[in-house]
Structure 1
Amino acid sequence: MLDPQLLRSNLQDVADRLVPRGFALDVARIEALEERRKTVQIRTEALQAERNAISKSIGQAKQHGEDITPLMANVEHMGNQLNENKAALDKIQAELEAILLGIPNLPHESVPVGENGSVEVRRWGTPRIFDFEIKDHAALGGKSGWVDFETAAKLSGARFTLLRGPIACLHRALAQFMINLHTCEHGYEEAYTPYMMRAPALQSTGHLPTFEEDLFKIARGGEGDLYLIPTSEVPLTNLAAGRILDAEQLPLKFVAHTPCFRSEAGASGRDTHAMLRLYQFDMVELVQIIEPSNSMGALEDLTANAEKALQLLGLPYRTMALCTGDLPFSAVKTHDLEVWIPSQENYRKVSSCSNRGDFQARRMQARFRNPGTGKPELVHTLNGSALAVGRTLVAVMENYQQADGSIRVPDVLKQYMGGMDIISCGR
């Protein structure tokens, strides 16, 4: 959430900075609400002061034995007016907050400007040249039944998959490899989180209210609704919610492997082939909660952490700096990692690493005590998928396929697969 004071003091500037994101801020509506808020607030404060003065005069009248009935009636009338004004003020504040919750973050000055102008930052690895006709991941796993969309559809409907045998083992091996890499080499603390969250947690990270249609809601009657997590960014970032951390505790760095659930309401027209876009998929997520002055440097570090997994797997990829039109809602800057998919002869996103600035921290009141001033200040939050397990599985299957339809196991994964070298897909 943006700083409300920034909107009040620099509303048009904020509106101008949001234009490159393709977001039109309703300046006239906000100005009108602010004027109403000021008018009602001034009237409320004046009524409160007048009521206090009359209440004081009631005490004086009592001391002199005077009739206080008219004064009491006046106080009661003012009390009713105060309640009406407070209700009106609450309504205006609620409207302003609803607008504020729907405003995306402001892009960092280093973000490329444009609707489709994301910039390639670097490229690693060379796509393999095959001397045989390649298969996509669905064909590679489908022959053996180890990647089974038909059974998954019978069980759960479209956009689910069932993995079995060595492909399921390869999927698990990828997650274990990533978790070990980030905990042992990159200094992250592993966490096991709930897969269902309450609405306030999702509002804190910016998933609610704007993206409610992308979430799976579980109604629980009087207990309150729960939502299946779209990513473990939600529980991990909320570990700092409502806290004032000591500066010495920062940075907090968490990693978690969880299933993720997204209804993909906005996926129409996007690549939904086979395992590339599912309602349920696994992710290894990185989250950092840091002191603000180093957040851009931390974004580079976090991106490098995710890239390291692709390098060790030997998968060609490119790193993209997203343009203003493609930035995630809560991000000030984002790097996407796109891995090479041979069957498509193209790069596909396998990770998104974002600096959220103080946008999420303001929503969840996550702060640290500045040792220089002794005062609480908002932290900065970052997160990145490192990596999306299913899409990485697709890349491994296709890049490591052999002419006979088998799949070589990358060296870094063999220890998690009982030393298996080859997955034969022609049983």
Structure 2
Amino acid sequence: MLQVPFIRDNQELVIERLTKRNIDAKEMIAEVISIDEQRRSLQTKFDNASAEMNALSKEIGMLYKSGEAQKANILKEKTATLKEDKNTFSESLNATTEKLQELLYKIPNVPHDSVPNGNTDEDNEEVFREGDIPKLSENALPHWELAKKYDIIDFELGNKITGAGFPVYKGKGARLQRALINYFLDKNTAAGYHEMQVPHLVNEASGFGTGQLPDKEGQMYHVTGDNLYLIPTAEVPATNIFRGELLSENDLPKAITGYTPCFRREAGSYGAHVRGLNRLHQFDKVEILRVEHPTRSYEALDGMVEHVKTILQELKLPYRILRLCGGDLGFTAALTFDFEVFSTAQDRWLEISSVSNFETFQANRLKLRFKNSEGKSELAHTLNGSSLALPRVLAGILENYQTDEGIVIPEVLVPYTGFSIID
């Protein structure tokens, strides 16, 4: 959530940057300023009434002590009027503050200056590419056919148990899945991330804290009886560890990694682009998260991108990195880099990671602050990234490593799987 003082002091900048998201924010920003002026005026009236009541109360007490009860009673009548005014101001102030808060929840983060203009994912900017695309035989299959051939993932069984988008991993498929999780966690902890296991359900406050609510409410599974939400990513519970915290500057950075299943009620569509593992309602993901000093957050973002690159280099998968355009940028992000692995059998790029800097947007919602060197409270910056999302990484391995003899396991994963080929 953007801070009102930032909006007030940088109106033209906010409006200009939000045009990168294809949003004309002039009226919305003007409304924020207008409502905030009302709020500040009401706050002043409320404070003045409170101060006058306190002063009168002291004066009334002194008058009673000095035996001037008649004068004291006159002032008490004035106090009663002030009390009514104060209650009126309080009600109006609460209503205005709530109205302002609801409006602020609708305004997305201001894109970083480097975010390119654009409307869709076709306008994203490729900034890096690495790895050779393998030449497969004419008999090469997409991963959903390979899964059936080698009996390692059963989509029909998952559909029977739950529904579409909930696959069952079997035998070497399950072991490969577990191997990837352990490998990702080992890579992350070796890079200085502290491993944590977090809840898979969160409360409403956690959803608001990281920006899933109210923006993405329809994409989350809601447990109505307890008003809890199944997590769409470990970012939500992991970031909310720091909700309401006042850290010391020396505590920064905070770096966390964790594995969780993820649940998303994404709108369904049909075709090869969503077949098999390409889009699921339940999938596994290993996440990395950082809480950073504002002056170091973009250096940290670059470090996170480099870290994900090393994982894909070790897996020897062809990949590219995209800087997302304004139209494809997530609601809470200031800058996002997407990683895509090339699926040779499908002849298309598959997104496997997003690494983002949210600057103070989440921290403001979370009330996540630190004391700077001057002893003043300051909002921290939050960052997170997939390291990595498993389904499409697994799809890339199955398709790019397929041979006539079977599916070869990437060398770095063999110590984790205990086998070198699926045949």
- TM-score, normalised by the number of residues in structure 2: 0.92
Alignment of 1:125-164 (within 5 A): 125-164=131-170
Whether the 8 Å contact between 2:354 and 2:385 is mirrored in structure 1 is: yes
- Hey, what does 2:32 align to over in structure 1? 30
Choose which of 177, 189, 195 in structure 2 pairs with 1:183: 189
Please tell me the residue identity of whatever aligns with 2:194. E
1:18 aligns with 2:18: yes
Provide closer, same or farther for how the CA distance between residues 407 and 270 of structure 1 changes in structure 2, counting only shifts above 3 A: closer
- Hey, what does 2:344 align to over in structure 1? 342
Alignment of 1:7-406 (within 5 A): 7-25=7-25, 26-59=28-61, 61-62=63-64, 63-66=67-70, 68-116=72-120, 117-184=123-190, 186-221=191-226, 225-265=227-267, 271-371=273-373, 373-403=374-404, 406=406
- Give the deviation of 1:80 after TM superposition: 2.1
State the Cα deviation string for residues 388-421 of structure 1 (Å, max 9, x = none).
01111010000011135x2111111111122x12
Which segment drifts farther, 120-129 or 45-54? 45-54
Which segment drifts farther, 375-384 or 31-40? 31-40
Which segment drifts farther, 309-318 or 10-19? 10-19
Q: Residue 343 of structure 1 aligns to a residue in which SS?
A: coil
- Hey, what does 1:417 align to over in structure 2? 417
RMSD of aligned alpha carbons? 2.1
Count of residue correspondences: 417
Once residues 162 and 375 of structure 1 are traced to their aligned partners in structure 2, the CA distance between those partners, rounded to angstroms, is 52
Whether the 8 Å contact between 2:150 and 2:422 is mirrored in structure 1 is: no
Whether the 8 Å contact between 2:20 and 2:115 is mirrored in structure 1 is: no
Provide closer, same or farther for how the CA distance between residues 55 and 370 of structure 1 changes in structure 2, counting only shifts above 3 A: closer
Please tell me the residue identity of whatever aligns with 1:78. L
Which segment drifts farther, 358-367 or 256-265? 358-367
- Give the deviation of 1:53 after TM superposition: 4.7
State the Cα deviation string for residues 275-328 of structure 1 (Å, max 9, x = none).
111111000101111222111111111011111111111100001111122111
Once residues 257 and 172 of structure 1 are traced to their aligned partners in structure 2, the CA distance between those partners, rounded to angstroms, is 11
Provide closer, same or farther for how the CA distance between residues 48 and 279 of structure 1 changes in structure 2, counting only shifts above 3 A: same
- Give the deviation of 1:189 after TM superposition: 1.4
- Give the deviation of 1:32 after TM superposition: 3.4
- Give the deviation of 1:119 after TM superposition: 0.9
Once residues 206 and 266 of structure 1 are traced to their aligned partners in structure 2, the CA distance between those partners, rounded to angstroms, is 23
Runs of 5+ unmatched residues, structure 1 = none
Whether the 8 Å contact between 1:12 and 1:27 is mirrored in structure 2 is: no
Identity of aligned residues (%): 37
Please tell me the residue identity of whatever aligns with 1:87. E
- Hey, what does 1:2 align to over in structure 2? 2
Please tell me the residue identity of whatever aligns with 1:386. S
Q: Residue 356 of structure 1 aligns to a residue in which SS?
A: strand
Provide closer, same or farther for how the CA distance between residues 269 and 23 of structure 1 changes in structure 2, counting only shifts above 3 A: farther
Whether the 8 Å contact between 1:213 and 1:265 is mirrored in structure 2 is: no
Q: Residue 391 of structure 1 aligns to a residue in which SS?
A: helix
Q: Residue 46 of structure 2 aligns to a residue in which SS?
A: helix
Once residues 7 and 270 of structure 1 are traced to their aligned partners in structure 2, the CA distance between those partners, rounded to angstroms, is 44
Provide closer, same or farther for how the CA distance between residues 311 and 67 of structure 1 changes in structure 2, counting only shifts above 3 A: same
- Give the deviation of 1:263 after TM superposition: 0.9
- Give the deviation of 1:269 after TM superposition: 9.1
Once residues 239 and 24 of structure 2 are traced to their aligned partners in structure 1, the CA distance between those partners, rounded to angstroms, is 28
Once residues 402 and 271 of structure 2 are traced to their aligned partners in structure 1, the CA distance between those partners, rounded to angstroms, is 29
Which segment drifts farther, 145-154 or 304-313? 145-154
Please tell me the residue identity of whatever aligns with 2:161. L
Once residues 423 and 266 of structure 1 are traced to their aligned partners in structure 2, the CA distance between those partners, rounded to angstroms, is 31
Please tell me the residue identity of whatever aligns with 1:180. D
Provide closer, same or farther for how the CA distance between residues 273 and 400 of structure 1 changes in structure 2, counting only shifts above 3 A: same
Provide closer, same or farther for how the CA distance between residues 244 and 55 of structure 1 changes in structure 2, counting only shifts above 3 A: closer
Once residues 268 and 369 of structure 2 are traced to their aligned partners in structure 1, the CA distance between those partners, rounded to angstroms, is 33
Whether the 8 Å contact between 2:339 and 2:351 is mirrored in structure 1 is: yes
Once residues 29 and 39 of structure 1 are traced to their aligned partners in structure 2, the CA distance between those partners, rounded to angstroms, is 15
Once residues 111 and 325 of structure 2 are traced to their aligned partners in structure 1, the CA distance between those partners, rounded to angstroms, is 9
- Give the deviation of 1:40 after TM superposition: 2.7
Whether the 8 Å contact between 1:132 and 1:403 is mirrored in structure 2 is: no
Whether the 8 Å contact between 1:205 and 1:360 is mirrored in structure 2 is: yes
Whether the 8 Å contact between 1:295 and 1:355 is mirrored in structure 2 is: yes
- Give the deviation of 1:50 after TM superposition: 4.2
Please tell me the residue identity of whatever aligns with 1:393. L
Runs of 5+ unmatched residues, structure 2 = none
State the Cα deviation string for residues 320-376 of structure 1 (Å, max 9, x = none).
1111221111111111000001122111110000111121112212222223x1223
Please tell me the residue identity of whatever aligns with 1:128. P
Q: Residue 301 of structure 1 aligns to a residue in which SS?
A: helix
- Give the deviation of 1:144 after TM superposition: 4.0
Please tell me the residue identity of whatever aligns with 1:384. G
Once residues 408 and 302 of structure 2 are traced to their aligned partners in structure 1, the CA distance between those partners, rounded to angstroms, is 32
Please tell me the residue identity of whatever aligns with 1:201. S
Whether the 8 Å contact between 1:214 and 1:266 is mirrored in structure 2 is: no
Provide closer, same or farther for how the CA distance between residues 155 and 15 of structure 1 changes in structure 2, counting only shifts above 3 A: same
State the Cα deviation string for residues 68-114 of structure 1 (Å, max 9, x = none).
55543442233122112101111110111111122111111122222
Please tell me the residue identity of whatever aligns with 2:314. L
